[in-house]
Amino acid sequence: MWLPFHADGIEGLPEGLDYRFWDGAQDFPADPADCVFYVVPYMKPPAVARRPMAEMTSLRAVQTLSAGVDHVLPGLKSLRPGVQLCNARGVHEASTGELALALILASLRGIPDFVRAQDKGEWRSGFRPALADKSVLIVGYGSIGSAIEDRLVPFEVARVARVARSERTTARGPVHPLTELPALLPEADIVVLSTPLTDSTRGLVDAEFLGRMKDGALLVNVARGPVVDTKALLAELESGRITAALDVTDPEPLPLGHPLWQAPGVLISPHVGGPTSAFLPRAERLLVAQLNRFVNREPLGNVVLTTGT
């Protein structure tokens, strides 16, 4: 069992297993061919996460500590059939929901401008947009999208519209399919992206998508950078027609001198939706649950796909 945490610090792990600590170091902790359960190191480059996978010939499960699994998908091609890929559903919802709300409020109320004014000792007052009475569109209504709506409710928004890959009904109302996005975008004051990165969502937010957003709308991306066409977004930002708050970018990390850094009306945070004080205890609870299921030959949770099927 390869873990990115030291096993002796996690209460409740099943006994009798051979736990090896690996957090992406150059040297492997053991022969990858002997690993049967691989917990992918968190917040490491995709190449690091995938590096041992081609040699993991005995592997039965891959567990990410992120909600998205796009960084490990190319590595699955080298695995034998029957390997289950599991994500970290339940770990990041609270933290990502908090950040999405923070980005919305900071952008609307002009917090970055206040900080810049404070640095200069300047008092800049005036009217700012409120979140109250705004219409919000959440694109990607899984567990994180739902957590974002949970945090929007107390702020007296006028309406929340929900979009996901497939149409369904929830206790809060309907979830619209992606095909209805063109009709929903012009009605939204705030568009929040929380969709996974897949072939169908890569470049989803292109010039046409952005062009359908209403003048003055705010785009918030807590999903993945490549969901948004950066060139198309820059054109809209530079025109001043919309604003944006981005926790993820394409490219990422955003290099020095990239035009997004200086684009008007954009707030950028460095992909910090997940790494908070809430991460470690929730990640450890997930691993304890998954490894106990594994040794007891019970079905694993959070299974995204199984190789060879």
Burial 148-158 (b: 16+ CB within 10 A, else e): bbebbeeeebe
Set 71, 92, 176, 271: catalytic member: 271
Residue 18 Cα distances to 14, 37, 41, 68, angstroms: 10, 10, 18, 27
Whether the CB-CB separation of 95 and 278 falls below 8 Å is answered with: yes
Q: Among residues 284, 252, 222, which one has the least CA distance to residue 95?
A: 222
C-alpha Rg value of the chain to the nearest Å = 21
Backbone angles phi, psi at 221, to 5 degrees: -115, 110
Structure tokens at 139: 């694109």
> What residues does 244 pair with on adjacent strands?
219, 266
Cite the DSSP H helix spans in the chain: 46-50, 93-109, 111-120, 143-152, 181-184, 207-212, 230-239, 259-262, 279-295
| Residue 34 CB neighbours (<10 A) | 14
Burial class (CB in 10 A: 0-12, 13-18, 19+), 106: middle
Structure tokens at 52: 């041992």
Whether 271 is a known active-site residue: answer: yes
Q: Report the C-alpha gap between 183 and 198 in whole angstroms.
A: 22
Taking the chain, what is the end-to-end CA distance rounded to the nearest angstrom?
24
Please name the residue that has the structure tokens 């929830």: 170
Q: Name the residues annotated as catalytic.
A: 271
